[in-house]
Amino acid sequence: MTTATPEAATAGRTITYREAINEALKEEMRRDDSVFVAGIDLAERGDVFGVTAGILSEFGPRRILDTPISENAIAGLATGAASQGLRPVVSMMFIDFIGVAFDGIMNQMAKMKYMFGGKATLPITVLANSGAGTGMAAQHSQSLEALLCHIPGIKVVMPSNAADAKGLMTSAMREDNPVFVIMHKRCQRLRGVVPEGEYTVPIGKAAVVREGRDLTIVASAYMVQETMAAADRLAEQGVEVEVVDPRSLQPLDTETIVASVEKTHRLLTVHEAVEFAGMGAEINAQVADLAFDYLDAPPRRLGGPFSPVPYSPPLEQEWLINADDIVEAALKTVNG
Catalytic residues: 71, 140
Of 278, 242, 254, 315, nearest to 130 (Cα)? 278
On whether the CB atoms of residues 97 and 126 are closer than 8 A, the answer is: no
Within 10 Å of residue 205's Cβ, how many Cβ atoms? 17
Q: Find out whether the peptide bond into 251 is cis, omega within 30 degrees of 0.
A: yes
Please say whether the beta carbons of 239 and 329 come within 8 A.
no
β pairing state of 191-194 and 179-184 = unpaired
Q: How far apart are CA 54 and CA 165, in angstroms?
A: 18
Contact 38, 125 (CB under 8 A): no
Which pairing describes strands 267-274 and 300-304: parallel, antiparallel, or unpaired? parallel
| CA diameter of the chain | 59
Distance CA 216, CA 299 (A): 10
